[in-house]
């Protein structure tokens, strides 16, 4: 990136027009491949670069995505290498150790994932990436580590955080009260993990504080009911892991939303 200022980058013509020149995805496992597909379907990007030490796998995903382009949006999809991070508007790190249902916490694979990411970040940082978005678990710890390892300004390194947890929380509140998740505004903050915090005090449904909405609609809003929703949100990832062995659709969609917010100065969430 020629400009050290993120604001200067956002003021460039392609950013003002809402065009994404390129998104690079490092790691083409389930999360990386799903994110690439979600980006293609969204029509938000002009170019998607897949980077993986297993070049053959990256090329296979590239061919598969190109076959889908005719039925979705016209975007250039290619298998690249770390040098492509220089020209990418956002570099997504989706590499790491896959979680398993036997793990008690996302922190269980920290050492192994950190070892993998440290080498990757060194290669990415050599090409001065504009924005690095971390999706690898445990995401909060690894995002901090990536920032330190990369030497980039803090404004250019971020993680997916609790975006997926917030989606799970809003969906469950919407299902409980019979409204679309888009009309629920409630957030999970803190860690993407067991210590996450549900901010019930600011929760709103259809523009109304949660308690007021429940009172007007004569719906249950007791502590026990809400505690169940919060606990279900916290354990949602583990339940999916136990059912199908991995989670990737939710985080893939969340990453697409974050990319859009970065490149368009969007505040929609």
- How far CA 107 is from CA of 66, 111, 241, 263, 269, in Å, comes to 36, 8, 15, 31, 27
- pLDDT, residue 102, reads 55
- pLDDT, residue 266, reads 43
- pLDDT, residue 6, reads 41
**Active-site residue identified among 14, 61, 127, 192:** 192
Give the residue among 44, 153, 145 at the shortest CA–CA distance from 96.
Answer: 145
What's the pTM?
A: 0.86
Please indicate whether residue 192 is annotated as part of the active site.
yes
User: Whole-angstrom Cα distance, residue 257 to residue 7?
Assistant: 20
User: Whole-angstrom Cα distance, residue 93 to residue 116?
Assistant: 11
Tokens of 247: 């989670």
User: Whole-angstrom Cα distance, residue 141 to residue 200?
Assistant: 25
User: Whole-angstrom Cα distance, residue 54 to residue 143?
Assistant: 23
- pLDDT, residue 107, reads 63
Report which secondary-structure segment, H or E, holds 134: strand 132-134
* DSSP class of 93: E
Quick count: other Cβ atoms within 10 Å of Cβ 77? 22
- pLDDT, residue 163, reads 97
- pLDDT, residue 136, reads 93
For the chain, 269 residues long, give each residue's pLDDT as a single digit of tens. 444 444 444 444 344 444 446 999 999 999 999 999 999 999 989 999 999 999 999 999 999 999 999 999 889 999 999 999 998 999 999 998 876 555 556 567 778 889 899 999 999 999 999 999 999 999 999 999 999 999 999 999 999 999 999 999 999 999 999 999 999 999 999 999 889 999 999 999 999 999 999 999 999 899 999 999 999 999 999 999 999 999 999 999 999 999 999 988 544 44
- pLDDT, residue 110, reads 77
């Amino acid at each position: 990136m020629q400009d050290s200022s993120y604001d200067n980058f956002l003021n460039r013509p392609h950013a003002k027009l809402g065009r994404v020149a390129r998104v690079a995805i490092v790691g083409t496992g389930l999360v990386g491949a799903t994110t690439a597909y979600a980006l293609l379907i969204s029509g938000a990007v002009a170019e998607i670069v897949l980077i993986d030490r297993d070049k053959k796998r990256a090329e296979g995903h590239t061919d598969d995505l190109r076959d889908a382009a005719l039925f979705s949006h016209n975007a250039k999809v290619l298998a690249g290498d770390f040098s492509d991070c220089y020209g990418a508007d956002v570099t997504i790190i989706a590499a790491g150790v896959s979680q398993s249902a036997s793990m008690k916490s996302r922190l269980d694979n920290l050492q192994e994932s950190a070892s993998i990411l440290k080498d990757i970040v060194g290669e990415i940082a050599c090409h001065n990436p504009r924005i690095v978005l971390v999706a690898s678990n445990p995401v909060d710890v690894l995002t901090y580590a990536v920032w330190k390892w990369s030497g980039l300004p803090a404004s250019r390194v971020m993680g997916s955080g609790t975006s997926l947890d917030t989606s799970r929380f809003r969906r469950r509140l919407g299902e409980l009260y019979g409204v679309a998740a888009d009309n629920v505004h409630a957030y999970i903050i803190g860690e993407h993990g067991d210590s996450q915090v549900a901010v019930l005090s600011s929760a709103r449904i259809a523009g109304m504080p949660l308690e007021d909405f429940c009172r007007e609609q004569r719906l249950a809003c007791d502590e026990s009911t809400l505690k169940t929703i919060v606990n279900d949100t916290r354990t949602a990832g583990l339940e999916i892991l136990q059912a199908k062995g991995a989670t990737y659709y939710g985080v893939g969609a969340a990453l697409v939303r974050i990319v859009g917010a970065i490149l368009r100065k969007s505040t929609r969430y």
